[in-house]
Amino acid sequence: MKSAVRRPAAPGTRRPAGAGPLHPADLDPPTGTGYAPCHHGEILQGVFLDGAGRRCAGLVTLPMAGRGSTAEFIRRTGTPPEALTVVPAGRTKAARAAALTVAECARRTGRPPEGGELRLAGDVPVGLGMGSSTSDVIAAVRAVADSYGLRLPAGTVARLSVRAERASDPLMLDGRPVLFAQREGRILETLGPALPPLVVVGCALGGGAPVDTLSLPAHEADDHDVRTCERLRTLLRRAVATGDARLLGEVATASATRGQRVLRHPEFEVLTGIARRCGAVGVQIAHSGAVAGALFDPATPGVRHRVRGCRRALDAHGIPVTRTFTTFSTFDTFGTPTSQEVSHGPAHRRGDRPARPGTPRRPARLPAL
């Protein structure tokens, strides 16, 4: 059943008491906003078996708070759907996602598909394997849906994202640890409610130069690869269930080492050596970029000193440190994580809207390391 859409009252007309806040679809032109986070590469990536026993490429990303993409979609009533522009120009994947979402929302609401202007802003570095394009795409999908007064299910957002860019990171799930089939846009397994708490010392390998993933040699998975990936999947499932940061670190290091068969970062051995000497539980890398991280258990005695020593050692070896962050957004005392909700506009969560494109972000609240 379609709900009636209110339009703004005529000038000088007072809105009735208790009418509630204006909805994006009430505005003329209808405007929606969306937000999507980024990630810090992968904890695990490889080829796994789905529920039917079929081989399927999959990954588990390392969530990272404080960075992401915001989108605003101004829907132009009465314009054809192909009259859709994006600012800044050149964000073709996000533009394609917006067009696909317009068609999806028109089908769901019975309203005509219409064009408009998509405005994007964000602070996710491009080419480092942090999901910059997926962040743009998901923010665009959410903004378009918001302009139609819809909150699309995560599965629908995933399907649209894959159609827009052929492979998608699971950023529409907002940090839930899942094994995600990036080329199919579906969850292979939900590993649990949250990763074990970690402190991550982020760095950039290869001097931070973007990685051209299309130029990398392809590696065809064989039966041994699948068995290895399934074993790591089992260990990661146990690490999440028990909150075992050390076991998670072992899985991430094994996956990162396997990724070296393709990426071949010359500093990888230096990174793993520094992490080992500083007492990290492991390392992780982006399997499609240059970003990497040394992983620390926040409950380890002297973790602050260990993290500082890791940063100094990376600097001394010419590996630029990018950011130190945690897998938990806020905290009461160091090592006691709490959670934090992320809003996506009124159609997604009733409350504060995300900042409009171009608005400075508030710095993430992180431990003082």
Mind spelling out the 3-state secondary structure of the chain? CCCCCCCCCCCCCCCCCCCCCCCHHHCCCCEEEEEEEEEEEEEEEEEEECCCCCEEEEEEEEEEEEEEEEEEEEECCCCCCCCEEEECCCCHHHHHHHHHHHHHHHHHHCCCCCCEEEEEEECCCCCCCCCHHHHHHHHHHHHHHHHCCCCCCHHHHHHHHHHHHCCCCCHHHCCCCEEEECCCCEEEEECCCCCCCCEEEEEEHHHHCCCCHHHCCCCCCCHHHHHHHHHHHHHHHHHHHHCCHHHHHHHHHHHHHHHHHHHCCCCHHHHHHHHHHCCCCEEEECCCCCEEEEEECCCCCCHHHHHHHHHHHHHHCCCCEEEEEECCCEECCCCCEECCCCCCCCCCCCCCCCCCCCCCCCCCCCCCC
Residue 111: what pLDDT?
94
Residue 26: what pLDDT?
56
**62-108, pLDDT tens digit by residue?**
999 888 999 999 999 999 999 999 999 999 999 999 999 999 999 99
**Percent of the chain at pLDDT above 70?**
78
**158-206, pLDDT tens digit by residue?**
999 999 999 999 999 977 899 999 999 999 999 998 999 999 999 999 8
Q: Does the 24-190 domain belong in CATH 3.30.230.10?
A: yes
Candidates 3.40.50.970, 3.40.50.10800, 3.30.70.890, 1.10.287.3510; CATH matching 199-338: 3.30.70.890
Q: Assign 339 a pLDDT band (cuts: 50, 70, 90).
A: very low
Q: Assign 216 a pLDDT band (cuts: 50, 70, 90).
A: low
Residue 126: what pLDDT?
85
Q: Assign 261 a pLDDT band (cuts: 50, 70, 90).
A: confident
CB 226 within 8 A of CB 234: no
Mean pLDDT over each residue of the chain, to the nearest integer: 83
- pLDDT tops 90 at residue 31: yes
Which pair of structure tokens corresponds to residue 215? 């130029």
Q: Where are the domains of the chain?
A: 24-190, 199-338
- pLDDT tops 60 at residue 45: yes
- pLDDT tops 70 at residue 283: yes
- pLDDT tops 70 at residue 359: no
CB 168 within 8 A of CB 137: yes
Q: Which residue has the higher pLDDT, 340 or 246?
A: 246
Residue 288: what pLDDT?
81
**124-148, pLDDT tens digit by residue?**
988 889 999 999 999 999 999 999 9
The average pLDDT across 311-331 equals 87
Q: Assign 344 a pLDDT band (cuts: 50, 70, 90).
A: very low
Q: What's the whole-model pTM score?
A: 0.81
Residue 365: what pLDDT?
33
Q: Which residue has the higher pLDDT, 31 or 352?
A: 31
Residue 345: what pLDDT?
42
